[in-house]
Chain A
């Protein structure tokens, strides 16, 4: 069974630009969650999608958005990038979502904002 796949793995952007990250969950998993990982801050919850609907949202500004497609693939978008957005963005899929059950993480997309 293929794991969670994230693309791109690395990217460099400049302030003010926007970026779109993609996540393909494990086959059969309907829940996709996104986390921002920075040194000292751990894993901060961005949002969760389940069956194309945003089920939960963390405490991030509106510049961070996401969506989920009918095949459960998810994308997250960050507009008007700031230096502080530099981080590893991890997505995780699960069968049930809602914070229960095991999360299967992708390898992440490392974003550097210059």
Chain B
């Protein structure tokens, strides 16, 4: 089955700096890659997703890039703000049509 690895597990940045979270996947048939944000004590929520026929997608301060050849995808957050502090999960939809999540990155934005 699919195996998703996510790095780093924790990340601290100064407010206004950029943050990058990287994920790799194993199943070459994977074709859908969402990112979820989970604030402390709250439920995960989708923040952005990308499909395998697209290399990059942006939504305001958030962008995701996908390299199918290398089987990795990344989340980029620019001009970070304290409200960006949360745990971020990447995920990949494998050939068996399951959504597999990474182990999460705890992002702390220091004011």
Chain A residues within CB distance 8 Å of chain B:
4, 33, 35, 40-45, 48, 55-56, 58-59, 90, 98-100, 102-103, 105-108
Contacts and interface: CB of A to CB of B under 8 A. Distances in A.
B67 interface: no
Contacts of B26: none
A45 B44 contact: no
B76 to A, nearest CB: 20
Leading 6 A-B pairs by shortest Cβ distance: A99-B93, A42-B103, A43-B101, A99-B99, A105-B43, A98-B97
B6 interface: yes
B46 A102 contact: yes
Interface in B60-83: none
Given A40-B103, A42-B89, A99-B32, A108 B98 contact: no
Nearest to A45: B98
Interface residues of B, number: 25
Interface of B: 1, 6, 9, 32, 34, 36, 42-46, 49, 89, 91, 93-94, 96-104
Given A42-B6, A43-B89, A100-B32, A33 B99 contact: yes
A62 to B, nearest CB: 17
Given A99-B93, A100-B93, A48 B98 contact: yes
A105 B6 CA distance: 21
B97 A106 contact: no
